[in-house]
Amino acid sequence: MKSVFCFSAASLLAAPAFALSCDGLTPDALGLEGITFTEVASVPAGDDSTVAQCRIRGRMAERTGSDGREYALSFELALPQDWNGDFVHQFNGGNDGVVKPATGALESGTGDQSPLARGFAVISSDAGHDGSLFQDRGLAGGSAFGADFEARQMYGYKAVASLQPVAETIVEGFYEKPISHSYGIGCSNGGRHAMVAAARMPDAFDGLLIGAPGFHLPRAALQHALDAQSFAEVDTDIRKAFSPEDLRLVADSILQSCDDLDGLSDGVVNDTAACQQAFDITQLQCTDGQNSACLSPAQITALQTIHAGPKDADGKQLYSDWSWDPGIAGADWRFWKLESTVPPWDNMPIIAVMGASSLAQVFTTPPTEVGGTPAELLQFLLDFDIATQAAQIDATDDDFPESAMQVMAPPGSDNPDLASFRDAGGKMMIYHGVADPVFSVNDTANWFAKLNANNGGEAEFARFYPVPGMNHCHGGPGADAFDLLTPLVEWVENGTEPAVATATIRPDNEDAPEALRGATRPLCPAPQVARYGSGDEASAASFQCE
């Protein structure tokens, strides 16, 4: 980048110990228009950051929406004193709507040290809307932005595309050096942002670290309605449809059928594909006179239904099916699907709060304004006719000329080749928990299989790592602590192709068998499976990816 600045990087970095001087840093000085810096601060190490940095908070794309609300794309940019020359765009999850601290860290996937602590410059944003401005909408406020079409677009794909060149200008202007490599990192909706970037912005990122991607988010939202309706058939209070003991019974039965398929009975099912053939949920149905250590016929039907995924009136699959995995007993699985620990939500699960309001107001056209109480949001899911209303995720009208699927999904996601990203030299590493309760690992696996097929049988620029036992982005009885950022950087910057990664079962993981906490396991690139050979059962070195 050709410098247009009247001050030097040396002057900016000449600062007291453990602090940066950000004096004189303004949008005008950087040649930026339509940008407001709301805060420019020197942040010493050990204050609210792990490293000394210049922290910039700002706003852009300010406007009044069609709904009369005020919108802007707000961001935080962290410029570390010891910059390594690289940049990370941090893609956040959920409905966005809040600027999370710009560290680049993920709950799983980036290891023990955040990208910021490693020396990356990092930007984070709210994807174009401030969820706190909709407090009058109660629990439905986080997705109320969906009434404005441009806010949907920003959330779907425009925020990243708009912010990336601004961030590059600031970073390169601050350091007076070009960025060496750009990375995008995110899990859940953040993983979706990354996959959208690969399709829509193929030249923007050298490497993408993609966790549990909700790249078919509107379709996955249909599953929320299916879940709620299926659980309500068991108990009108969906929180009581399955007790923790019921789900533990299912998990134990899966383990009994599948645990040794990888050569070791250890509480983790590595051979997911074989397990789908070996496990039969009907074996848990109560027999005449049995009322404990079994499931009722209604419970069996509910689990079969939700694992089969939503279908339309003709029986056509609307979203993916799901894999059976002992992670069904994980605390995160329950929190999402059955029961939370949040009193203001009336302990309703996330699907009945964020999930319901998002389906109503962001992922269907026209949007439905829903009440903001837990009961009202749950009722929306219970009343949603999947067979006939699912078409609303693909619908358009005069106010919403792009459907929710067009806004949210990466173009070509049903038959991906990512040729432009590939030809630009981009690399991507994807991980997904096999027991994810929000986005099906099967959907990601099917996408990856098509990507391989459309790239001569193997997409050499992509790797996919299913994580046995892991719930959504983290948690569950699996090895959910791992670092895929380091091998991604090695791949991008040195041409070293990634292979097997090492994952750890966190010592504080209460979902995992106590004897396994702290153990390591190989994280195998699909389609390989970790199989035990011989030696220390707590060591990844005793397994092979085959």
- How many domains in the chain? 2
Residue 137 inside a domain? The answer is yes
Q: Identify whether residues 122 and 58 lie together within a single domain.
A: yes
Domain stops at, among 183, 208, 232: 183
Q: Identify whether residues 285 and 376 lie together within a single domain.
A: yes
Is the pLDDT reported for residue 265 higher than 70?
yes
Domain stops at, among 360, 378, 408: 408
Q: Identify whether residues 18 and 100 lie together within a single domain.
A: yes
Q: Identify whether residues 91 and 228 lie together within a single domain.
A: no
Closest CA to 77 of 169, 8, 200: 169
| Over residues 92-119, mean pLDDT | 96
Is the pLDDT reported for residue 10 higher than 60?
no
Average pLDDT score over the chain: 94
Distances (CA, A) of 520 to 109, 226, 286, 423: 15, 36, 37, 36
Please state which of the ranges 13-22, 36-45, 202-211, 395-404 shows the lowest mean pLDDT: 13-22
Q: Identify whether residues 234 and 314 lie together within a single domain.
A: yes
Compute the Cα dihedral for 207, 210, 215, 218 and give only its sign: negative
pLDDT value of position 21: 59
Is the pLDDT reported for residue 391 higher than 50?
yes
Q: Which domain holds residue 285?
A: 218-241+280-323+338-408
pLDDT tens column, 17-74: 323 458 778 999 899 999 999 999 999 998 667 799 999 999 999 999 999 999 999 9
What is the C-alpha separation between 28 and 203, in angstroms, rounded? 27
pLDDT tens column, 418-428: 999 999 999 99
Residue 543 inside a domain? The answer is no
DSSP assignment string, 268-328: ----HHHHHHH--GGGGBPPTT--SSSB-HHHHHHHHHHHH--B-TT--BSS------GGG
Residue 79 inside a domain? The answer is yes
Pairing of strands 121-125, 427-433: unpaired
What is the C-alpha separation between 511 and 490, in angstroms, rounded? 32
Domain stops at, among 382, 408, 434: 408
Residue-level length of the chain: 546
Q: Identify whether residues 346 and 393 lie together within a single domain.
A: yes
Number of other residues whose CB lies within 10 A of the CB of residue 387: 14
Compute the Cα dihedral for 465, 462, 321, 153 and give only its sign: positive
Cβ–Cβ < 8 Å for 151, 129: yes
Q: Identify whether residues 177 and 223 lie together within a single domain.
A: no
Q: Identify whether residues 157 and 237 lie together within a single domain.
A: no
Residue 536 inside a domain? The answer is no
Residue 298 inside a domain? The answer is yes
Residue 398 inside a domain? The answer is yes
Cβ–Cβ < 8 Å for 498, 429: yes
Asked if the bond preceding 527 is cis, omega within 30° of 0, the reply is: yes
Is the pLDDT reported for residue 462 higher than 60?
yes
Q: Identify whether residues 170 and 102 lie together within a single domain.
A: yes
Pairing of strands 427-433, 207-211: parallel
What is the C-alpha separation between 491 and 503, in angstroms, rounded? 19
pLDDT value of position 46: 85
Closest CA to 77 of 128, 48, 132, 40: 40
Q: Identify whether residues 310 and 357 lie together within a single domain.
A: yes
Q: Identify whether residues 111 and 234 lie together within a single domain.
A: no
Q: Identify whether residues 52 and 177 lie together within a single domain.
A: yes
Residue 501 inside a domain? The answer is no
Residue 4 inside a domain? The answer is no
Residues serving a catalytic function are: 188, 436, 472
